[in-house]
Chain A
Amino acid sequence: MGKTLAEKVFETHVVDKPFEDLWVLKLDTVFCHEITTPIAIADLQAKGMDKVFDPKKIKAVIDHVSPAKDSKTAEQGKALRQWARRQGIEDFFDIGRNGVCHALFPEKGFVRPGYALVMGDSHTCTHGAFGAFAAGVGTTDLEIAVLKGVCAFKKPKTLKIELKGALPAGVYPKDAMLAVISALGMGGGTDRVLEFSGPVVDSMSMEGRMTLCNMAVEAGGTSGICMPDTTTADYLWPFIGPEGEGLFATKDEALAEYSKWSSDEDAEYDRILGIDCSTLEPLATYGYSPDKVKPVREMGEVKVDQVYIGSCTNGRIEDLRAAAAVLAPEVRKGRKVHKELRAILAPATTEVYAAALREGLIEIFVQAGFCVSNPTCGACLGMSSGVLASGEICASTTNRNFSGRMGKGGMIHLMSPASAAATALEGRISVARISAAKKGGEV
């Protein structure tokens, strides 16, 4: 019997099985942010264990509230900053050099095929896009992860999700993932790794794969995972090739090495879910859970107060391109976002922001009347920079539509960046003109 990629990562990283079905894995890297880490640091200090297992393997960022919005969040930033200095953590990304963790760390080349990694954040599953086992954990698990470089898991089963066909014009990885979550339900992937495969994934960029894996947790999944391929090697090349760490002389060498991080043909899956993407259309959520999904066409007249484009789900450069491609033709005609709504763009990282400037995208957003914010998680979880008032409705490219998530009494409809841009123009949930926007997001 063959093995799945996730099983291979488990078997190569296990250092202890203290109890039946509890696998303690050696971690290749541990990521930290300012919301869930400071209490772990304080607890380690109180216990006289203020150390880290390896400062080179720990990466830290201030991202959830950046810049600080009040004294309490400033203290959280300070706690993380001082800890990084004290422990000699060189890869610490402070305000101005930062970005949303699950966009920033891949961009820095910190995630590699075959890695096992954790972070005190549920969307850590994003990093599985590189062929890694990446799981969100709580503060206690994080505390031991930074101290000892290990984390314990029940060995997850793997659920294979085959995305067949091809995405039609106007339909994006976000739509495909909403269809997956709708099919699985919110608990359908619990204690499972969600392995994405099929022609749609094969032809998808790393950004698109990260969008898929990012929302694995919305179906309860422990990690998303995709097989490393040439797209993965191309993305990582600046870090692994001769210009970077020099791990490989050629991409073929890298691919040969990474190919071992693939599921075997005869691997055993808990379940196989096939979705024909050719028949998909733009989707959005309704209600207060991410598995409540229907075609935008069937949403009816939903007047929107705020449009939000950003987050670890859809704040990457491709997402900005797709939204700008919808806006650009209208902006050229002098049109702006609907006068009865406000629209916010938060590029996911400083580098995404810089690329969007270089490509002229920021100008399109500004001319359209978007408030262009700095990189932060902010509004996605209702902490800052775009919190809703009671009774307000937001069309958002984020990942959760829970009641109160973006502000008490607010309602969130999740959708793709292209759909969010169309909605911003129309003032109600809409996909007008998105299939006409040039493929690849050219503006």
Chain B
Amino acid sequence: MKKLGGKVLFLDKDDINTDELIPAKYLNEDSKKALGPYCLEDLSAPGFDRARDLPGKGAIVSRANFGCGSSREHAPWALEANGINVVVAESFARIFRRNMYNCGMVAAELPKAVIEELFSRFSGQETVMELDAEKGEILFSSTRAGILKLPLSIGEFELAMVRSGGWVEFAAKRY
């Protein structure tokens, strides 16, 4: 299974929508990679400076209803083009969540109090997340705040998607 996670981008805002993840004017691009430079272009979130904060990240931690709005799978693709393959949030919009797993990426829910703890303990520091889908475990660490290991409940379907690399690989054989 591919490595999941990396350096964490904290986005302290509810309802981050897919227009913010990738504006519609770039939906005329014909490749997933071409979306990379425009990811999060229109996002305004407390403390977020795109040029400073996006490069080199592998994971996002955010708040409630992440990925709402348009069904565009360009949103996970734009994240993937920037090396991000995990989003951890209090909750997700249905289509975005499914799109992430359909691409073999992870959209993991954690309770509000845990998300709050992650923000208060780790945001503003260089934090690394490692996610082990098989073991059902997420690890956060930073030099100053130490290590926090959390259980992750991942469904059978979601695990199968992460293992197989996505829905096309799974469904094209089965149906």
Chain A contacts to B: CB under 8 angstroms: 15-16, 18-22, 24, 35-36, 38-39, 42-43, 47, 49, 64-65, 70, 72-73, 75-76, 79, 120-122, 124, 136-141, 143-144, 147-148, 150, 152, 154, 186-187, 190-191, 217, 220, 222, 289, 381-383, 387, 400, 402-405, 408
B102 and A148 within 8 A (CB): no
Shortest CB distance B110–A (Å): 16
- Chain B nearest Cβ from A405, distance in angstroms: 5
Select one of A16, A42, A150, A402 contacting B19, CB under 8 A. A402
Does B15 interact with chain A (Cβ within 8 Å)?
yes
Contacts A/B (CB < 8 Å), 28 sampled: A18-B174, A19-B157, A19-B160, A21-B157, A22-B156, A39-B30, A39-B73, A70-B28, A72-B30, A73-B28, A124-B71, A137-B71, A138-B102, A140-B102, A140-B103, A141-B167, A143-B168, A144-B168, A148-B175, A150-B175, A190-B65, A190-B92, A217-B69, A381-B70, A400-B69, A402-B17, A402-B19, A402-B20
Residue of B19, B76, B98, B175 touching A405 (CB-CB under 8 A): B19
Q: Which residues of B contact A49 (CB under 8 A)?
A: 172
Interfacial chain A residues near B32, Cβ < 8 Å = 39
Task: Please tell me if B137 contacts chain A, counting CB pairs below 8 Å.
Answer: no
Cβ B19 vs Cβ A404 within 8 A: yes
Q: Does B141 sit at the interface, judged by CB under 8 A?
A: no
B148 at the interface (CB under 8 A from A): no
Does chain A have a CB within 8 A of B171? yes
A72-B29, A73-B28, A121-B71 known; A403+B167 contact, CB < 8 A: no
In the assembled complex, B64 has its CB within 8 A of some CB on chain A: yes
B15 touches A187 (CB 8 A): yes
Given contacts A187-B93, A220-B94, contact A65 B28 (CB under 8 A): yes
Interface status of B166 (Cβ within 8 A of chain A): yes
Docked complex: B1-50 residues within 8 A CB-CB of A: 15, 17, 19-20, 23-25, 27-30, 32, 41-42, 44
| B94 with A191: CB separation less than 8 A | yes
Write the residues of chain B forming the contact surface with A, with a CB cutoff of 8 angstroms.
Answer: 15, 17, 19-20, 23-25, 27-30, 32, 41-42, 44, 64-65, 68-73, 76, 91-95, 98-99, 102-103, 155-157, 160, 166-168, 171-172, 174-175
Complex interface: chain A residues within 8 A of B73 (CB):
36, 39, 120, 138-140
Do A381 and B93 touch across chains, with their CB atoms under 8 A apart?
A: no
In the complex, what distance in Å separates the CA atom of A431 from the CA atom of B69? 28
CB neighbours (8 Å) of B167 from chain A are: 140-141, 144, 152
Q: How far is the CA of A402 from the CA of B19 in the complex (A)?
A: 7
* A-side contacts of B93, CB under 8 Å: 187, 190, 220
A76 to B30, Cβ gap below 8 A?
Answer: yes
Cβ of B20: which chain A residues have Cβ within 8 Å of it?
402-404
A187 touches B72 (CB 8 A): no
Interface residue from A35, A36, A122 paired with B69 (Cβ < 8 Å): A122
A-B contact count, CB below 8 Å? Answer: 148
Q: Which residues of B contact A73 (CB under 8 A)?
A: 28
Report whether A138 and B71 are in contact in the complex, using a CB–CB cutoff of 8 Å.
Answer: yes
- Give Cα A387 to B171, complex, Å: 39
Residue on A nearest B157 in the bound complex, by CB: A19
Which residues on B sit within 8 Å (CB–CB) of A64? Answer: 27
Report the separation of the CA atoms of residues A68 and B171 in the bound assembly, to the nearest whole angstrom: 34
Q: Which residues of A contact B27 (CB under 8 A)?
A: 35, 64, 383
Chain A residues near B102: list those with CB within 8 A: 138, 140-141
Q: For the complex formed, measure the closest distance between the CB of B18 and the CB atoms of chain A, giving whole angstroms.
A: 8
Chain B residue with the shortest CB-CB distance to A143: B168
* Beyond known contacts A39-B30, A136-B95, A187-B91: 9 more, CB 8 A cutoff: A18-B174, A19-B160, A137-B98, A138-B95, A140-B167, A187-B93, A190-B65, A383-B28, A400-B17
Question: A20: which B residues are within 8 A, CB to CB?
Answer: 155-157
CB pair B72–A148 under 8 Å, yes or no, is no
A24 & B65 in contact (Cβ 8 Å cutoff):
no
B72 to chain A, nearest CB (A): 7
> From residue A332, how far is it (CB to closest CB) to chain B in Å?
38
Most buried by A among B42, B44, B94: B94
